[in-house]
Amino acid sequence: MAKKYDISRAAKLSSKVRIPVTYTRLGLFCMDTQFELKPKVDTVSYELVRRGGVWRVDGPVPDYPYVGWQTVRDSLRNLIADESETTSRKEQARNTLQALSEAAGEKPE
């Protein structure tokens, strides 16, 4: 999960364009509401090709996609507010939301 990302200047290759994107990672988030603090700065050089008049990402495909921390935060808030969720999942989501908020430098919930 990324706190922010920066896009660097594109470089034209023969039939492709390479665009480096630098992610400031907070940690790893699993869909079972588990958050593991693993800060890291990671640069991924995406290659784009023009097909059918539009640019498409040709690679690489990351092992773990970077999702903005705000998206994860909102998802956890929705889980907590969901009346059909169990008390234990809601509590787990609250704990994860607190850890995520602290890692992102936001006031804890």
Amino acid at 65: P
Q: What is the pLDDT of residues 70-106, one digit of tens each?
A: 999 999 999 999 999 999 999 999 999 999 999 988 8
Q: How far apart are CA 38 and CA 15, in angstroms?
A: 36
Split at pLDDT 50, 70, 90, the class of 22 is very high
Across the chain, the runs of DSSP E, i.e. the strands, are 2-7, 11-12, 16-30, 34-51, 54-59
Which pTM does this prediction carry? 0.77
Q: Token pair of 2, please? A: 């990324």
Model pLDDT, residue 65: 82
